[in-house]
Amino acid sequence: AQSVAQPEDQVNVAEGNPLTVKCTYSVSGNPYLFWYVQYPNRGLQFLLKYITGDNLVKGSYGFEAEFNKSQTSFHLKKPSALVSDSALYFCAVQSGGSYIPTFGRGTSLIVHP
Amino acid sequence: EAGVVQSPRYKIIEKKQPVAFWCNPISGHNTLYWYRQNLGQGPELLIRYENEEAVDDSQLPKDRFSAERLKGVDSTLKIQPAELGDSAVYLCASSLGLAEQFFGPGTRLTVL
């Protein structure tokens, strides 16, 4: 079985400060890891993914994530937060070769002006 | 390029009534997913299609839910009869194989 944990329901950060949204996972075999963002009344939008290669993955809108195999983590980061980054962020994992992702519960990111 | 299209965006029905949701995936995407997202939760897979074949449907409550993807393009998800607990957002997504998924805006279903 595969699972994802997003330990924080909400993350608050001031505009211009760095942000981190945490994600840990459990999966058999090599993981495929994804981050998606959801704005109000919208579907999920892909941000970035890790399949293989460099542990540091760069994605859309200045976001990046670091794959840490020993800690089974895939935290989302951004050096300087914008108010427009405020949204719901979902981490997802699927085992290599599987088409079925498991999503976390989501973390609400609030960036204060 | 058009994204994933879903309709309707909102639906309010009384319990025991039928309801249907429609999805048109991104052109050329062979894999189509239907998810249910409850408030405060991540999406949960209901069914996955590879072209016109349903290949993962273990989470689909088959006593009341059905789905089809004729000709391997657009898809319809149906609930009959609807129950109060079916109130949720129903998301459709498509992808090329194991790549990232592209989601539609969803249909928010309210069952009264």
Size of interface A-B (CB pairs under 8 A): 53
Residue B69's contacts (CB-CB under 8 Å, 6 or more residues apart) are B32, B49, B51, B52, B54, B75, B76
Residue B44, pLDDT > 70, answer yes
Q: What are the Cα distances from residue B2, in Å, to A49, B25, B30, B102?
A: 22, 9, 16, 11
Instruction: Give the pLDDT score at A97.
Output: 72
Instruction: Give the pLDDT score at A100.
Output: 86
Q: What is the tens place of the pLDDT at every residue in B72-107?
A: 899 999 999 999 999 999 999 999 877 789 999 999
Q: What is the tens place of the pLDDT at every residue in A47-91?
A: 999 998 899 999 999 999 999 999 999 999 999 999 999 999 999
Percentage of chain B beyond pLDDT 70 is: 99
Instruction: Give the pLDDT score at A11.
Output: 98
Calculate how close chain A gets to B13, using CA atoms only, in Å: 19
Residue A79 is encoded by which pair of tokens? Answer: 């050096």
Res. B8 pLDDT band, cuts 50 70 90: very high
Show residues of chain B in contact with A104, CB under 8 Å. Answer: 42
Res. B1 pLDDT band, cuts 50 70 90: low
Contact A50, A57 (CB under 8 A): yes
Calculate how close chain A gets to B63, using CA atoms only, in Å: 22
Instruction: Give the pLDDT score at B70.
Output: 83
Residues A92-104 as b or e (16 or more Cβ within 10 Å = b): bbbbeebbebbbb
Percentage of chain A beyond pLDDT 70 is: 100
Which one of A3, A37, A38 makes the best mutation probe of the B interface by having the most chain B beta carbons within 10 Å?
Answer: A38
Which one of B98, B102, B109, B110 makes the best mutation probe of the A interface by having the most chain A beta carbons within 10 Å?
Answer: B98
Spatial distance between the Cα atoms of A60 and B45, rounded to a whole number of angstroms:
25
- Give me the mean pLDDT over the B24-33 stretch: 94
Q: What is the tens place of the pLDDT at every residue in B46-56?
A: 999 999 999 88
Instruction: Give the pLDDT score at B26.
Output: 94
B54 in contact with A at a CB cutoff of 8 Å?
no
Residue B95's contacts (CB-CB under 8 Å, 6 or more residues apart) are B29, B31, B33, B101, B102
Instruction: Give the pLDDT score at A31.
Output: 92
Residue A35, pLDDT > 70, answer yes
- Give me the mean pLDDT over the A91-105 stretch: 88
Q: Which residue has the higher pLDDT, B59 or A67?
A: A67
B56 in contact with A at a CB cutoff of 8 Å?
yes
